[in-house]
A and B are shown apart, each in its own frame.
Chain A
Amino acid sequence: MNRFILGTVVLSIAVIASAADKKPGKPTKENRPGVNRWNDQSPGSTKPLPRPYPGAPPSVPHGIEGLAITRKSNGCIDCHLEGTDLGDGHVATKIPPSHFDPKAKEELAGTRYQCLQCHATVSR
């Protein structure tokens, strides 16, 4: 069992690009490949990845359209503050205490309010 899943994730996802040229000859841009050709998916069309290592923020496994984070409302907190049971077999992950203000422990820290800064999305 690989406790440190990092290597596994890298190997299974990264596409090995060839550093060597395929067609020697006239030096044009076209015959000098060797760059990372990854995938051709649009943002929002990929599947979420598992948490890469303990302590890393989990990625957002669902779309975020319509869930704006503004001064007055935070679409993420609506479900994640309580860990709401969505009734379809999914339970929203509860926000951990580390995100709460160390002084006023009952309040989500202002510096943790922008959820999408740390939690990568698979959405636009």
Chain B
Amino acid sequence: MKQRITRREFLQWGGLSVAAVTVGGGLVALNPFEAAAEELLPGLSWDKAPCRFCGTGCSVMVGVEKGKVVAVKGDPESPVNQGALCEKGYALPFIQYGADRLTKPMIRKKNGKYDKRGKLTEASWDEAMSLVAAKAKEAIAAKGPSAAAMFGSGQWTIWEGYAASKLWKAGLRSNSLEVNARHCMASAVTGFMTTFGIDEPMGSYDDFAHADVFILWGANMAEMHPILWAKITDRLLQNPAARLYNLTTMSNRSSDMAAKEILFTPQSDLALANGIARLLLKKGTIDEAFIAKHCAFKRGKENIGYGLEDGFKFKDEPAATDLAALREFVEPYTPARVQELSGVAPEILEELAAVYGDPKTKVMSLWCMGMNQHTRGTWINNLVYNLHLLTGKISSPGNSPFSLTGQPSACGTTREVGTFTHRLPADMVVTNPAHRALSEEIWGVPPGTIPDKPSYTAVEMLRALDHGDLLFFWSMTTNPFQSYPKLNRYRDAALKDGRFIVVSDVYPNKSTEVADVVLPAAMWVEKEGAFGNAERRTQFWRRMTDAPGEAKSDLWQLLEFAKRMGHEDLFARSFKGHAMPAGRKVSDASAAWGAYVEKGLFEEYRRFGAGHGHDLAPFDTYHASRGLRWPVIDGKETVIRFREGYDPYVPKGAGVSFYGNEASGSRAVIWQRPYEAPPEIPDTEYPFWLSTGRVIEHWHSGTMTRRAPPLQNAYPHATANLHPDDAARLGLKGGEKIRLTSRRGTVAVHAEIGGRVTPQKGMVYVPWFDENVLINELTLDAYCPISQQADFKKCAVRIERIS
């Protein structure tokens, strides 16, 4: 292999010269040994923090000089990334220092008074928060508690999410709390809850070193989860027998390491999974003993709709079935039928079935937005779990169906804290009286405080804003007016009279554009924080720098709002007995309350999960560790759940226990879920599929990464990637400007042919980070009826050349 070098060559490194680079007139001496950053930058103080970007959750060492982050390096002590970072991680020192950082609250004013048609004008915090509180009260008085909504984020710290949940559910008595994770992980959650009765992966990143075969189900990990991709690459290079299959709708960088790239028609992953299950059952390559002991069978409703009508309602009706019924159910998914739907050849389907069916091959299935942003997202999550359950390949090292996360704390904050309209902490739900009672007890509020019905999920929330049932909408640490599907409708809704939009953010963006009040936020190491990554690892960091100007953390803002809404006591009692640590400034929130509010909130939050599978360690433990994977029992983390010897919750002698489904005998559920077509498919008028996503350089809507020169320079604007045959047919060359149009909107964008992504024929791929190419004006707000997560991967568009 080419990466081998000789001992002699290695020794030559000893005499490596120091490179010199000229910058801004100055000469900077640079040593190419990145590990030597401390020596090169003497006098910096270094402390650990999780990366601000993706759900991988790498740990970075942050170098601070004179109150400013000036360098980062990969944390060599972190088991997640072992000293490595991707290019976004290395760009972290830029994200706080963009020239247009928001530093003062702003109110839209005309003639010195708030006016929806006015212009954003600087104001004091007192004036801005008074207006925000007055408008929230006005909305609640007019239309009830659900008329005032908070839209948070998987980039919130754990205590920010927790404070929001407590304030909304126990304080305002409103379930109008949602998060951008609804657009990102909701189908993963409903997949876990319907199959296992408990959220989040059973395995961990340790599985990468044990698996023989990696099967990507619509996840371009090479760009979206770079450091995990490095782990897979390592395994593939170390073990010649290891293989990777890239099941995808477009040719991408992940294909470069694949034994086979398997292109399939959008939505047909449902047919592929059922086709594989059929072959497993036909050939008998299933683990009958495992199934008999640990699995149950169910089916649900079919023809379940797409959530396109406002106020769409759906309730599944699960019914018990058995193995014989499953055999019958998958029978129509013959290789020929699967090929018709997916375009995947029968021998490829056979090969995949052979991989899943071989008891000696350890298989990791990996997925993220391809399966989650899907109008049948819950179903496809269920169907991939079916393959691992039928073969017993689950909860053992290297046998691991792994649902990847997008955001740094989609797991830790939104899922574990439960910052969704229907949820409470530790997988509890507002519709369950026992869960409400426990929550009310911990929160010290009277029985009946928490409303027993969810109000709005993300898409329905902005539909309600459009109708006028929702009048107050506050977004934090997310950019909904760039990230929502069918964006035109919702941007227009925000501008309607009587709607009050508050945006807490760090830079001007498409959401501050439609805001009535803009609140400048503190970010990342400007506050003390905690994130939970995709492998259940909770990681803490300390405040290292001050926020610029008058910017304040989301936690400070939430607590200040709580005071003004009359809920000071709700929080004051959480902080009792938690004195500030001596000799260090924890955060603006702690300073304002004269207590260690982060610790108070976390210690209270911990009570929700203790004793039922979600145990967290005491607050101080996390500051002293590189994170721990829950459940943490007696100081020990859990690497694999549901398996005896790894997970203390599995009863002795049981071997395996899916204890999340206690009511059904601790069995995981194998579901009958059919293929159903997507709501909008290309036709003669709109002949192309449109799929959206990310690129390695940019994070979400680009608010941070477009201000980091190395990243922005590498990928300055979004492109529309096309198949060369389609481009030839349209007479298009790379770099030419084209117009993409769907039934909902239109954008101009540069065509890209032969770049890092080549979609299948008849498809165009556009990343959504670029506010000058608002691709979500084209996307459809159809969603999975069970998870209510929208599908950003499939709608129909036409392409015209702009001459």
We find that the number of chain A residues with CB closer than 8 angstroms to chain B is: 90
Residue in B4, B36, B229 whose CB lies within 8 Å of A117: B229
List chain B residues, Cβ under 8 A from A62: none
List chain B residues, Cβ under 8 A from A118: 84-87, 90, 226
B663 to chain A, nearest CB (A): 43
Given A13-B709, A29-B491, A106-B7, residue A54 in contact with residue B31 (CB < 8 A): yes
A interface footprint on B343-380 (CB within 8 Å = 1, 0 otherwise): 00000000000000000000000000000000000000
Q: Is the CB of B714 within 8 A of A122?
A: yes
Q: Does B102 contact A (CB under 8 A)?
A: yes
User: Roughly how many angstroms separate A57 CA and B226 CA in the complex, as a whole number?
Assistant: 15
Residue in A35, A46, A55 whose CB lies within 8 Å of B71: A55
List chain B residues, Cβ under 8 A from A78: 2
Q: Does B651 contact A (CB under 8 A)?
A: no
Q: Is the CB of B27 within 8 A of A120?
A: no
User: Roughly how many angstroms separate A2 CA and B509 CA in the complex, as a whole number?
Assistant: 31
User: Roughly how many angstroms separate A40 CA and B16 CA in the complex, as a whole number?
Assistant: 39
Q: Does B730 contact A (CB under 8 A)?
A: no
Q: Is the CB of B71 within 8 A of A53?
A: yes
Q: Does B604 contact A (CB under 8 A)?
A: no
We find that the number of chain B residues with CB closer than 8 angstroms to chain A is: 106
A26 to chain B, nearest CB (A): 6
User: Roughly how many angstroms separate A14 CA and B226 CA in the complex, as a whole number?
Assistant: 26
Q: Does B650 contact A (CB under 8 A)?
A: no
Q: Is the CB of B713 within 8 A of A111?
A: no
Select from chain B the residue with minimum beta-carbon distance to A5. Answer: B23
A6 to chain B, nearest CB (A): 6
User: Roughly how many angstroms separate A11 CA and B10 CA in the complex, as a whole number?
Assistant: 39
Q: Is the CB of B716 within 8 A of A38?
A: yes
B110 to chain A, nearest CB (A): 6
Docked complex: A60-91 residues within 8 A CB-CB of B:
65, 68-74, 77-78, 81-82
B523 to chain A, nearest CB (A): 15
A113 to chain B, nearest CB (A): 5
Among the 9-residue stretches B91-99, B434-442, B470-478, B679-687, the one with 4 or more Cβ atoms under 8 Å from chain A is B91-99
User: Roughly how many angstroms separate A110 CA and B770 CA in the complex, as a whole number?
Assistant: 33
Docked complex: B558-574 residues within 8 A CB-CB of A:
none
Select from chain A the residue with minimum beta-carbon distance to B240. Answer: A71
Select from chain A the residue with minimum beta-carbon distance to B243. Answer: A71
List chain B residues, Cβ under 8 A from A20: 106, 119-121
User: Roughly how many angstroms separate A70 CA and B121 CA in the complex, as a whole number?
Assistant: 54
List chain B residues, Cβ under 8 A from A28: 495
Q: Is the CB of A6 within 8 A of B719?
A: no
Q: Is the CB of A68 within 8 A of B256?
A: yes
Among the 9-residue stretches B142-150, B198-206, B230-238, B595-603, the one with 4 or more Cβ atoms under 8 Å from chain A is B230-238
Q: Is the CB of A7 within 8 A of B97?
A: yes
Q: Is the CB of B97 within 8 A of A6?
A: yes
User: Roughly how many angstroms separate A68 CA and B138 CA in the complex, as a whole number?
Assistant: 59
Q: Does B415 contact A (CB under 8 A)?
A: no
Docked complex: B279-327 residues within 8 A CB-CB of A:
none
Residue in B34, B117, B706 whose CB lies within 8 Å of A56: B34
Given A10-B97, A29-B513, A98-B35, residue A5 in contact with residue B24 (CB < 8 A): yes
User: Roughly how many angstroms separate A96 CA and B222 CA in the complex, as a whole number?
Assistant: 23
Select from chain A the residue with minimum beta-carbon distance to B714. Answer: A120
Docked complex: A83-121 residues within 8 A CB-CB of B:
93-94, 96-98, 100, 105-114, 116-121
Q: Does B5 contact A (CB under 8 A)?
A: yes
A33 to chain B, nearest CB (A): 7
B210 to chain A, nearest CB (A): 15
Q: Is the CB of A71 within 8 A of B752?
A: no
List chain A residues, Cβ under 8 A from B512: 19, 34
User: Roughly how many angstroms separate A65 CA and B28 CA in the complex, as a whole number?
Assistant: 30
Q: Does B70 contact A (CB under 8 A)?
A: yes
Q: Does B803 contact A (CB under 8 A)?
A: no
List chain B residues, Cβ under 8 A from A21: 119-120
Residue in A2, A72, A73, A81 whose CB lies within 8 Å of B24: A2
User: Roughly how many angstroms separate A60 CA and B116 CA in the complex, as a whole number?
Assistant: 47
B84 to chain A, nearest CB (A): 6
Q: Is the CB of A3 within 8 A of B87?
A: no
B635 to chain A, nearest CB (A): 28
Residue in B22, B34, B68 whose CB lies within 8 Å of A55: B34
Q: Does B37 contact A (CB under 8 A)?
A: yes
A4 to chain B, nearest CB (A): 5
Residue in B30, B97, B714 whose CB lies within 8 Å of A54: B30
Given A4-B65, A55-B34, residue A96 in contact with residue B508 (CB < 8 A): no
Select from chain A the residue with minimum beta-carbon distance to B497. Answer: A27
User: Roughly how many angstroms separate A19 CA and B107 CA in the complex, as a whole number?
Assistant: 12
Q: Is the CB of B771 within 8 A of A6?
A: no
Residue in B5, B68, B495, B719 whose CB lies within 8 Å of A27: B495
Given A19-B120, A43-B714, A69-B256, residue A55 in contact with residue B23 (CB < 8 A): no
A70 to chain B, nearest CB (A): 5
User: Roughly how many angstroms separate A32 CA and B771 CA in the complex, as a whole number?
Assistant: 13
Residue in A32, A47, A110 whose CB lies within 8 Å of B513: A32
List chain A residues, Cβ under 8 A from B6: 106
Q: Is the CB of B711 within 8 A of A120?
A: yes
Q: Is the CB of B97 within 8 A of A107?
A: no
Q: Is the CB of B33 within 8 A of A97?
A: yes
Residue in B37, B68, B99, B121 whose CB lies within 8 Å of A14: B99
Given A34-B513, A98-B35, A118-B85, residue A53 in contact with residue B27 (CB < 8 A): no
Nearest 3 A/B pairs, CB to CB: A110-B234, A55-B37, A108-B3
Listed A/B pairs (8) with beta-carbon separation below 8 Å: A9-B94, A10-B709, A29-B491, A29-B513, A37-B772, A47-B713, A56-B71, A110-B233
Give me 15 other A-B pairs in contact (C-beta within 8 A), A72-B1, A93-B32 excluded: A2-B24, A3-B26, A17-B100, A19-B512, A33-B513, A35-B513, A43-B719, A54-B71, A55-B31, A55-B34, A55-B71, A96-B16, A96-B34, A110-B235, A113-B230
